[in-house]
Amino acid sequence: MGEDGARADGVRVLVTGGTSGLGAAMAAALLDAGARVAVTGRDGDRARAAAERLGPGAAGIGMDVRDEGSVARGVEETFGVLGGLDVLVNNAGIGMRTVNPRFLSDPQPFWAVSPDGFRDLVATDLTGYFLVAREVVPRLLAAGGGRVVNVSMNHSTMNRRGFVPYGPARAGAEALSRIMAADLTGSPVTVNVLLPGGATATGMIPDDLPAEHRAALLPPEVVAAPIRWLCSPAAAGVHDQRIVATQFADWLAGQVRRR
């Protein structure tokens, strides 16, 4: 457990894109805090293998967030396996290396990006957040409440040279989050945004990144404490907040002082 001391005993959480990277780190942290977690991936076998690695309390579910039929089936399976749902963590995404494997050392201009690559990344990183939330939130409202956490990234990365389409897709997902929060204000469902606060050591980082830069990457576990807290009783009623994991301790202390 982290210094925040948050527990999430019995909380049922769906983490999309939970087979590796930030998703796997959040799933592991939540399981450690007592939650039950379903992790998704496009490949159902890979998702189930990831759940086995995570251990008791984890379930793996095949879900392609680009496709509403797959999302509907995956959410239905999640509710069946977990017996309901309390928190959706929208995390599934693909990175710049899918359109430019050397995007850090050799950034390409937007006009060099293939239309198919652009569409696939936006379909995953932006439309996927919409499709999963669209399927889950009405169920949370019908059940009397729940929470949505949308994973984002630094604002500076959203408009960084050579970051089309990843930057625009994540900027769109953050705007979507704010609108979701506005639409749900006054309801029993909360929406918040969580981001690491810097480049993170995940599969999205290109293989040719120099060792000195790789050493400066944040570990995926940087999101562990804030996601535990966001899924805990302590975060009840917290709504429309943008939480930066590297600044979480100070942010949380400020919340406590204001109460």
Phi-psi region of 243 (alpha: psi -120 to 50; beta: other; left: phi over 0): beta
Find the length of the chain: 259
Q: In this model, does residue 199 exceed pLDDT 70?
A: yes
For residue 117, the one-letter residue type is G
DSSP element (H, E) containing 149 = strand 146-151
Tokens 């089936």 correspond to 73
Label residue 28 by pLDDT band (50, 70, 90).
very high
Q: In this model, does residue 68 exceed pLDDT 50?
A: yes
Q: State the architecture of 12-258 in CATH terms.
A: 3-Layer(aba) Sandwich (3.40)
Point out which residues pair with 250 in neighbouring strands.
Answer: none
- Percent of the chain at pLDDT > 70 equals 90
Tokens 């990175």 correspond to 95
pLDDT single digits (tens) 175-189: 999 999 999 999 999
Tokens 């807290």 correspond to 229
Strands laid side by side in the 58-62 sheet? 58-62, 36-41, 12-15, 87-90, 146-151, 189-195, 242-244
Name the percent of the chain in helix, strand, coil, to the closest 5.
50, 15, 35
Q: In this model, does residue 1 exceed pLDDT 50?
A: no
The predicted pLDDT at position 198 comes to 80
Domain ranges of the chain: 12-258
Segment of 104-113, 175-184, 199-208 carrying the highest mean pLDDT: 175-184
The predicted pLDDT at position 115 comes to 97
How far is it, in rounded angstroms, from Cα 40 to Cα 59? Answer: 9
pTM beyond cutoff 0.85: yes
The predicted pLDDT at position 254 comes to 87
pLDDT single digits (tens) 48-62: 999 999 999 999 999
The predicted pLDDT at position 3 comes to 43
Pick 1 or 219 by higher pLDDT. Answer: 219
pLDDT single digits (tens) 224-250: 999 999 999 999 999 999 999 999 999
Q: Is 45 exposed, middle or buried (0-12, 13-18, 19+ CB in 10 A)?
A: exposed
Label residue 96 by pLDDT band (50, 70, 90).
confident
